[in-house]
Every structure is written in C-alpha cells, then in structure tokens.
Amino acid sequence: MLVSEVMLQQTQVARVLDPWRRFLDAFPSPSACADAPLASTLRLWAGLGYHRRAKALHEAARTIRDEHGGEVPRDATTLRGLPGVGEYTANAVASFAFGQRVAVLDTNVGRVLARAVANRTLRTREARDLAERLLPARGVASHNQALLDLGAQYCRAAPRCASCPLACACRWNLEGGDDPAPLSAAVSRRQSMFEGSDRQVRGRILGLLRSEEASMATVVAYVAPVERTRVERLVTDLVKDGLVERAGRRLRLAAS
C-alpha cells in the first residue's frame, strides 16, 4: 500500500500497475528494498517520472528497517515521519492498510467536499475538518475509497453530474452557483506541459543511465536536440538531488 500510494502521487493508475508489480516482485519487504542499492529502485521506477519519489521511498524503506523493525508503521502520525510521506499518503496507508479511523483528503475528495457537501470554496483546515466529521463509526476504509472513486469517476475537473450517484443530494447541483472546487484546498492545479519540459529531459537522462554509464557527450547526444548548457544544468540538478553521481568523467545512477 505504501509503495502504491507513493507511485500514485501525480501519476495515473494505469501507469503505476506494471511498475508496482515489478517493484513488489523485486522487493517483497521494506528490508529487501533497504538492503538494495538506490540504483535498483531507480531502475524499477522506469515510466513513472518524478524520480525524487523513488529516492524518498528507498530512504523510507531504510527508516522502516532501522527504526521500526522492518514493519511499516500502522498509525498516521508515525507514517508521516517517513521520508517522502505527507499527510495524504500517511492517512491513506493508515486507513487502507490498517483500518485506522483517519480521513483521506486528495484532489478528488477535495472536489466532492467543495461541491457536494459545502457548495463553497474550502480552505485547508475547513476541508480537513469536514472530511474528518464525515467519517463513519465503521467502514472507514470503504468510505474513504468511495469518496476517492466519486472524485475520480464523476466529480472530475469537468464533472459528470448527469450520471453522478450523488446528484440528488449534491448542494452545488441543487443550489447552483460558480464551481467551488478549483480554488479549494487539496484540489490540484493543471500541470505545465510535459512535452519539452525539464521533467521530460530529466527522465530521458535517467532512462539512458538506467542501462549504462555515460559521458556527458553521450548524454547530450542522447537527448538531442536539447542544447548542451541545458543538459549540463539538469545533470547538475540530478546530482544535487542524489539521483545521479559522477564517476570520473562518466555519469551513472546514484549508488550503483
């Protein structure tokens, strides 16, 4: 569950399924991941992007091994102490893996709360409080999953109100007014274009280094027609992020 939630951050489910299976096949426990070099995690991250998540997950596995006896913590507060684990991920793991009574608030749930329940823009504290007040006495995990699914399938950025099972009770549908979701807490903004972005070029550089060490000239040729100064800047950033390391005049995945 922890692996899937980290992989799903800013990434669609369809892109996560195969890497998630490969990852669990390679690392069936946190200690298995922690004992392997970071480069192994980075190689298994192919196709997911946002590679800092891979490094954070590897660091989280080491923390679990060294400080929690190899067992993923069960409560949200302790989970938030793991590298790369924020409030949403901690609550999702606590709820779905361990049945803890905590609310899960992401962009999908944020839209449902702002439209169906409040019909107004919600600040962060308001959205969190409302999500917690809605928790049932039992079946919390199913409740949280239902809100996530409503936001993913019906209460989208472009909502499908006509077929939504909450249409008869949704305050925005019944009362009207401007859409309260776009500026509400937890509702993500539209991402910048991927094509031609630094994110794309960073991914291509890491894609090359997954299979081989390479000189800067080889990296520049591989990501052409991107200009050399931009490639050098992005390589420097990858080194600072701890994802790439220099071995003499060659580049390779960190901790290879």
Name the catalytic one among 5, 59, 67, 213.
5
Give the residue ranges of DSSP H helices in the chain. 2-7, 13-26, 30-35, 38-44, 52-67, 76-79, 87-98, 107-112, 124-133, 140-153, 171-175, 198-211, 216-222, 228-240
HSE, side-chain direction, 13 A CA sphere, residue 2: 29
Tokens representing 192 are 């910048």
Query: Do residues 86 and 76 lie in contact, with contact meaning Cβ atoms separated by under 8 Å?
Result: no
Instruction: Report the C-alpha gap between 94 and 96 in whole angstroms.
Output: 6
> For residue 247, which of 215, 208, 218, 207 has the smallest C-alpha distance?
215
Main-chain dihedrals φ then ψ at residue 245, nearest 5 degrees? -135, 155
Which whole-number Å values give the CA distances from 243 to 12, 13, 60, 67, 110, in the listed order? Answer: 23, 24, 15, 24, 33
Neighbours of 70 (CB within 10 A): 14
- Would you call 212 a catalytic residue per the annotation? no
> For residue 20, which of 71, 69, 55, 54 has the smallest C-alpha distance?
54
Q: Which residues does the annotation mark as catalytic? A: 5
